């Protein structure tokens, strides 16, 4: 089945530093990947849609200069949280869509727990 991985699974950083999170589709090509943020006891909130070879589309209220997204290949999208602050601490989850399967299904990664001190 379609597998999506994320790296790292956990990261702790100091306030003001930048953190990069990778999302990979392991056994399929994903022209579109999505990035979500989930705070404790809350739902998944879509941050941005990442399209291979083009600029990401950000949801309202998400700062594109703070959350840099790069989707340089059909199997890899990265999210960089720049100048992270404690309020950026959250669970970041990516998903990837496998168009070739004929089913418009998104496969989710295992998530990355970011803690900013």
Instruction: List residues binding another protein (CB under 8 A).
Output: 4, 6, 32, 34, 42-46, 49, 57, 60, 91, 93, 95, 97, 103-111, 113
Based on CB atoms, which residue is closest to another protein, 48 or 81? 48
Based on CB atoms, which residue is closest to another protein, 16 or 105? 105
Residue 81 CA, distance from chain mean position: 10
Strand pairing report for 45-51 and 32-38:
antiparallel
Q: Which residues contact 5 (CB under 8 A, 6 or more apart)?
A: 23, 24, 26, 109, 110
Shortest Å, Cβ 51 to another protein: 8
Shortest Å, Cβ 20 to another protein: 18
Strand pairing report for 106-108 and 90-97:
antiparallel
Based on CB atoms, which residue is closest to another protein, 62 or 82? 62
């Amino acid at each position: 089945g379609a597998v999506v991985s994320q790296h790292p699974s956990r990261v702790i950083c100091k306030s003001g530093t930048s953190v990069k999170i990778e999302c990979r589709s392991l056994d399929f090509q994903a022209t579109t990947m999505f990035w979500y943020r989930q705070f404790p006891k809350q739902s998944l909130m879509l941050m941005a849609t990442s399209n291979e070879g083009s600029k990401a589309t950000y949801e309202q209220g998400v700062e594109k200069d703070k959350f840099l997204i790069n989707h340089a290949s059909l199997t890899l999208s990265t999210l960089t949280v720049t100048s992270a602050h404690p309020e950026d601490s959250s669970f970041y989850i990516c998903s990837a869509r496998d168009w070739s399967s004929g089913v418009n299904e998104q496969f989710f990664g295992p998530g990355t727990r970011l803690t900013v001190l």
